[in-house]
Structure 1
Amino acid sequence: MMTRMRSVPEWLRPSLWGLAIRSALAAGVVVTIALALGATALLFVLDRSLLSGLDDAATARAQDITTSLRSDPPADLDAQLLDTNQRITLVQVIDRAGQVVRTSDTDPGTPATDVRPPAGGPPVPGLIGRTERGADLRITAQGARGVDGEYTVLVGASEEPVEATLATVGGLLALGGPVIALVAAVVTYKLVRRSLRSVEHIRTQVATISSTDLGERIPVPAPRDEIAALTRTMNDMLARLEAGHTAQRRFVGDASHELRSPLATVTMALELADARPEMLDRELVRDTLLPEVTRMHLLVDDLLLLARADERGLPLRLGDVDLDDVVDTEVHRARGETGKTVTASLAAVRIGGDRTQLERVMRNLIDNAVRFAAHAVHVEVSLRGNTAQITVSDDGPGIPQPDRARVFERFVRLDNARERDRGGSGLGLAIVAEIVSAHRGSVRIGESAQGGVQVVVTLPATPVTPVSPAES
């Protein structure tokens, strides 16, 4: 089969033809089929109409003769009733013995049909007959009561005019159909080619945009058509690619910078220990090496969590979680690690969620608040209808309104030097946002009553279905 396909020339393979050629051929075929069906229907209707006209003319003549026979014998019929024309070609009056007693022809001959309708009955049109000369006739027969007996009136109409008309119309359709189909194919080809020129122009421009410079955009054409919509969609896609590429480069740069600092410290300490072994004491390990290694470990864990969330959504081990217990544990931990005041106002709230991840949310929020608070941090847990709400407030410098949404992005610092000195990596709030979103909750930043930061987390106080990667 494959060998047979390979032996076929490429120009005979429709799959290799251009879109314009395939569209033109399809248009030509469709128009040809439509014209063929239309022509068939037209010829059928025309044939029925012309034959009906013949029958009507023959019936009218038969009724006129029948009326005349009621008062005159066949020999005295008006000659005009027996006249022939392009439609009526034969008139015969047949007596009960089957003899032609009056006819439009010079030769009486034999009756054109053997049908004998009863006298006084309706006419019988559409009978097929034939003259002695072999011409086909469409005959209408009607029984009549004359002054001297019963007769049968036969009026024959020739089908040759109908056949000639159908032949003429069919010939015109046969000649005009291919021309119309060819014109449709050519017009379709031109229109598709014209449309594809715009698409090709867009393709060429997109091909010139390199991965290192995604800032270029495709000019949007003036007409508000599908091509303009495609151009706007391509520009939107390029904008998203540029934003993603920029975020990726910033992410890699920030991650490498964050890892470089503790690595440099550990490397320097090890080089010092290698040069002067007596300097590698417990104080150097406890105050320099272990904190930097812990910092790298936490940073790598944060990066892995975010990477898993990006790839397939954050996995959750769901169960019943008492939020007040989680917050109380983290508050007590923070009190033991700082000299600042950490207070809590806790209501008993139970939700469905991943306890480990929710502990991480509270740890990040409380540690962040303690890091920037001037003197005090306050944590509150409350239940509002079907929603659990956690509020963490501090009396620190606060966050300007334009930056409150941006701080949830990765490696974002409003004051890089200050936050790095305070131990921040710029991933804490990004992780909080990912975990809360996986629990189908929300997190926002406002201003506390003391002028600092107030972080409000809302979570559904009902069983949680984890967010899928597509939803995330």
Structure 2
Amino acid sequence: MRSVPTWARPSLWGLPIRSALTAAAVVAVALAFGAVALVYVLHRSLLSELDDAATARAEDITAQLRTDAPADLDSQLVDTDQRIALVQVVDSNGQVVRSSDDEPGDAVTDIRPPVDGQPVRGVRTAAPDGGDLRITAQAARGVGGEYTVIVAATEESVEATLATVGGLLALGGPIIVIVAGFMTYGLVSLSLRSVENIRTRVSAISSADLSERVPVPAQRDGIATLARTMNDMLARLEAGHAAQHRFIADASHELRSPLTTVTAALELADARPELLDRDLVRHTLLPEALRMGLLVDDLLLLARADERGLPLRLADVDVDDVMDGEVRRFRAHADISVTAALVPVRIRGDAAQLSRVARNLLDNAIRYAAATVHVDVSRHGDRARIIVTDDGPGIAAGDRERVFERFVRLEHARERARGGSGLGLAIVAEIVAAHGGTAHIVDTEQGGTTVVVTLPVVGPNPS
């Protein structure tokens, strides 16, 4: 079986060609219907004008017959012209008593309308020469009796006009269709040129350099909107790519420190086995291994949150009990004062994740506190509020939002050996956001840092 050539398969034609052919077909159909309607209306209008002219002539003759005999009619009333082909006055016996022909002959129609009645219009009959006539007959009462005035109009002028209009339509219609097709082809090609420019630019953009943008056409149309959307997408990809690189670099840096410590200790123990004692394991290897394990757990939690959102196991949780448990744990190990004012508040949430929020907040506060940390739990309307305040160096106003980003540590934190990984508050923000709450830092008159977390009592909205 022979395959169909490409040029004969419309599905493989380009969009400009298909658009041009479609536009040409639509215009052709519209012109065809328009031409038929125009010719029909024009034909009816010309015939109506023809009948009006014949009726007017018949009425003029009828009016004069009231005072004059048929032989005395004005010659102008029985003369013919381009539209009036024949005039006859027929008496009550059917004899032609006045005619526009030199040889009257017989009446062209036997129609006899009633006296004082409406004229009969538009009756078609054949002319002696083979043409078509439209008869208007009107009864008249005059000198010498009753008459029938017959005025026959020829359709030759109507046919000539229709032939002229039809010829113009037949000549102009294809030209209009061809012009519409070429114009559509040009406009679609011009529009696709902008799309091609966008495609070319996008194909040239690589993951190594996402700073380039596609050109935005000056026209305010869908293609310009597409270009702006593409640029917005590229900006998001660039930001995500940069954030991913920063995340990998920061994670590698944070993991390198405990890994280096553990490696160095193991190398020392390998070279000098007598130094591998309980103090080395307890004060060097285990703390660094635990630190690395906690950092890996934090990274996995953030990765899951980025991929598909943080999964929550919702249940009724007493926020005051969660905070009280963490406060008691930190009191047993911290060398500073940890106080609490806890009001019973129950919400819908994930107890394990909320415990992590409490632990990170207290760990962060104790790390930078000078002497005291205070925890406050209360309820305001339909929201639970957790406030953790320390008397440390505080956080500048310009850094209060930035500290909730990943791997962000302020300069005074970097200078201290216990500066942490910079993920604690970032994890707090992720967990609180998953619960439909907010976390932010506010000013306090006593100085230090005050972190305020609000959580909806009814729990997060189901996704």
Assess same fold via TM > 0.5: yes
Match for 2:180 among 176, 180, 184? 184
Query: Paired residue for 1:445?
Result: 441
Match for 2:369 among 348, 360, 373? 373
> Quick check: 1:66 aligned with 2:65?
no
SS at match of 1:421: coil
1:88-237 equivalences in 2 (<5 Å): 88-218=84-214, 229-237=225-233
Check whether the contact 2:349–2:460 (CA below 8 A) recurs between aligned residues. yes
Moved more, 163-172 or 30-39: 30-39
Residue 188 of structure 1, CA deviation: 3.0
| Counterpart-to-counterpart distance in 2, 1:416 and 1:451 | 16
1:351-366 equivalences in 2 (<5 Å): 351-366=347-362
Q: What's the Cα RMSD here?
A: 2.6
| Counterpart-to-counterpart distance in 2, 1:361 and 1:173 | 82
Residue 427 of structure 1, CA deviation: 1.9
Query: Paired residue for 2:264?
Result: 268
Query: Paired residue for 1:32?
Result: 28
SS at match of 1:72: coil
> Quick check: 1:285 aligned with 2:281?
yes
1:246-257 equivalences in 2 (<5 Å): 246-257=242-253
Moved more, 229-238 or 285-294: 229-238
Shift of the 455–81 alpha-carbon distance from structure 1 to 2, 3 Å rule, reads same
Check whether the contact 1:72–1:146 (CA below 8 A) recurs between aligned residues. yes
Query: Paired residue for 2:379?
Result: 383
| Counterpart-to-counterpart distance in 1, 2:416 and 2:19 | 63
| Counterpart-to-counterpart distance in 2, 1:47 and 1:420 | 101
Moved more, 83-92 or 32-41: 32-41
Q: How many residues align?
A: 463
Moved more, 380-389 or 366-375: 380-389
Check whether the contact 1:352–1:462 (CA below 8 A) recurs between aligned residues. yes
| Counterpart-to-counterpart distance in 1, 2:190 and 2:198 | 13
| Counterpart-to-counterpart distance in 1, 2:175 and 2:115 | 55
For structure 2, the residue ranges without an aligned partner over 5 or more in a row are none
SS at match of 2:347: strand
Query: Paired residue for 1:326?
Result: 322
| Counterpart-to-counterpart distance in 1, 2:400 and 2:459 | 30
Query: Paired residue for 1:9?
Result: 5
Check whether the contact 2:413–2:419 (CA below 8 A) recurs between aligned residues. no
Whichever residue aligns with residue 285 of structure 1, its letter is V
Check whether the contact 2:69–2:142 (CA below 8 A) recurs between aligned residues. yes
Whichever residue aligns with residue 279 of structure 2, its letter is E
Match for 1:409 among 391, 400, 405? 405
| Counterpart-to-counterpart distance in 2, 1:340 and 1:54 | 115
SS at match of 1:392: strand
Check whether the contact 2:405–2:425 (CA below 8 A) recurs between aligned residues. yes
| Counterpart-to-counterpart distance in 1, 2:227 and 2:67 | 88
Shift of the 141–414 alpha-carbon distance from structure 1 to 2, 3 Å rule, reads farther
Residue 85 of structure 1, CA deviation: 0.9
| Counterpart-to-counterpart distance in 1, 2:411 and 2:321 | 33
Residue 300 of structure 1, CA deviation: 2.3
Identity of aligned residues (%): 70
SS at match of 2:440: strand
SS at match of 2:386: strand
> Quick check: 1:302 aligned with 2:313?
no
Check whether the contact 1:124–1:141 (CA below 8 A) recurs between aligned residues. yes
Match for 2:338 among 328, 331, 342? 342
SS at match of 2:362: helix
TM-score, normalised relative to structure 2: 0.91
Residue 229 of structure 1, CA deviation: 4.8
| Counterpart-to-counterpart distance in 1, 2:148 and 2:331 | 125
Residue 275 of structure 1, CA deviation: 4.4
